Amino acid sequence: MLVLRYLASFYNYANYEVSDPRVSKWLLMETPWPGLAILAFYLMFVLKWGPKLMENRKPIKIDNFIKVYNLVQVFICMFLFVEGWRLGYLRGYNVLCQPVDYSADPYPVSIARRCHIYFLVKVLDLLDTVFFVLRKKQNQVSFLHVYHHTGMVMLTWSGVKWFPGGHAVFMGFLNSFVHVVMYYYYFLTSVSPKYKGNVWWKKHITQLQIIQFGMIFLQWFALIFQPNCQFPKWPLFILLPQNCFMFLMFLDFYYQAYVKKKPVQKAPTVEAPNLSHKALVDCHSD
């Protein structure tokens, strides 16, 4: 009973007392349970229900839907990138230390709302895996792919709940730009199959991913040397190892695929150096 009381007390403290009250009534933000329910359904579908459903069926033809989906992603991510530049860095946001403004003024609330949209985009990204399942490409549903998409929903929800803005904006700002390039490439491949085997696109998207993870890691790492910065330090324990892991994974993939010039395997099932490029590119830091 004492443990249950402690857990209930901690839940109330974290979910109501120290969270940002401005976001509490926004979609999926009042409590973690709706988001966790979505993730539970997602995991069950892509790992169990979906493969079972498609076992004796032909791949579902959703090419036109995927074209629209990719194009929508391009426009949403472009909007978030432009808004991050307009509301953040054009207004003097400090890349090395930027506290969160928790006031109810229109400007910080606008930033918080963009952070919320970014979180919703991470929820939308879960459809990437669903498409793999429905098209019977279960070999692309790797551990790293599922882990990354699940983790990004949880991390971005936490960001919006406790610090929607400030230092964390850089990660979403940079990631949104990378997603513009990625989903535009996906759109091109869905319109014209000749782009699917284009090594130029794949090579430079991988380079862009490596640069992204490196920059995000350095930006969070710099926070360690800002003892007077009012941005919370606890995210460092999660984000630094995460970005370091992704940076090394992409660096190894780049070396294997473009430096040693070994053929890229098309349909691996685990996350290690055998990941397909599509699965790797989907594992952004979201």
**Marked catalytic residue, from 148, 149, 167, 277:** 148
Q: Is the pTM for the entire model greater than 0.85?
A: yes
Separation CA 114–CA 197 (nearest Å): 35
Separation CA 25–CA 42 (nearest Å): 24
Tell me, what's the pLDDT at 262? 52
Instruction: Report yes or no: 171 and 285 within 8 Å, Cβ to Cβ.
Output: yes
Tell me, what's the pLDDT at 21? 97
Closest alpha carbon to 211 in 223, 219, 200: 219
Tell me, what's the pLDDT at 246? 84
Instruction: Report yes or no: 267 and 276 within 8 Å, Cβ to Cβ.
Output: yes
Tell me, what's the pLDDT at 192? 81
Tell me, what's the pLDDT at 277? 46
Per-residue tokens: 128:
């990437």
Separation CA 70–CA 181 (nearest Å): 11
Neighbours of 148 (CB within 10 A): 25
Q: Residue 102: which residues within 8 A CB-CB, separation 6 or more?
A: 20, 22, 108
Tell me, what's the pLDDT at 197? 66
Q: Is 148 a catalytic residue?
A: yes
How would DSSP label each residue in 140-157?
Answer: G--HHHHHHHHHHHHHHH
- In tens digits, what is the pLDDT along the chain, a chain of 286 residues? 789 999 999 999 999 999 999 999 999 999 999 999 999 999 999 999 999 999 999 999 999 999 999 999 999 999 999 999 999 999 999 999 999 999 999 999 999 999 999 999 999 999 999 999 999 999 999 888 898 899 999 999 999 999 999 999 999 999 999 999 999 999 998 888 777 766 677 889 889 989 999 999 999 999 999 999 999 999 999 999 989 988 988 888 788 878 886 544 444 333 333 344 444 554 444 4
Closest alpha carbon to 209 in 166, 258, 243, 240: 243
Separation CA 141–CA 284 (nearest Å): 15
Tell me, what's the pLDDT at 257? 79
Tell me, what's the pLDDT at 194? 73
Tell me, what's the pLDDT at 268? 39
Give residue for tokens 């014209």.
192
Tell me, what's the pLDDT at 272? 35
How would DSSP label each residue in 98-132?
Answer: -----S-SHHHHHHHHHHHHHHHHHHHTTHHHHHH
